[in-house]
Amino acid sequence: MIHAALVGQSSFLLWHAIPIVIGISLVYGATRHELMGHILYSAYRTALWILGFVAVIAVVLAVISWMV
């Protein structure tokens, strides 16, 4: 019961990462490019990269947690 509640709260907190990822990607793209199309494409790629990186870390931590 407590475990389910903790997992529920963790997943709720994870949603707060979405605006941060979008914000960082857009500003990073804006500091690399000048045209809006290039900025948005760069932001899209950066967001995918960040999410992929976070997903890999999450999987590694999950595996370690499962093994211990």
DSSP states along 30-64? HHH-SSHHHHHHHHHHHHHHHHHHHHHHHHHHHHH
- The gap from C-alpha 45 to its chain's centroid, in whole angstroms, comes to 12
In terms of CB distance, is 3 or 16 closer to other proteins? 16
Please select the residue that binds other proteins; options are 16, 64, 66, 67, rule is CB under 8 A: 16
Query: Minimum distance between the CB of residue 53 and other proteins, rounded to whole angstroms?
Result: 16
x/- track of binding to other proteins for residues 29-58 (CB under 8 A): -xxxxxxx-xx-------------------
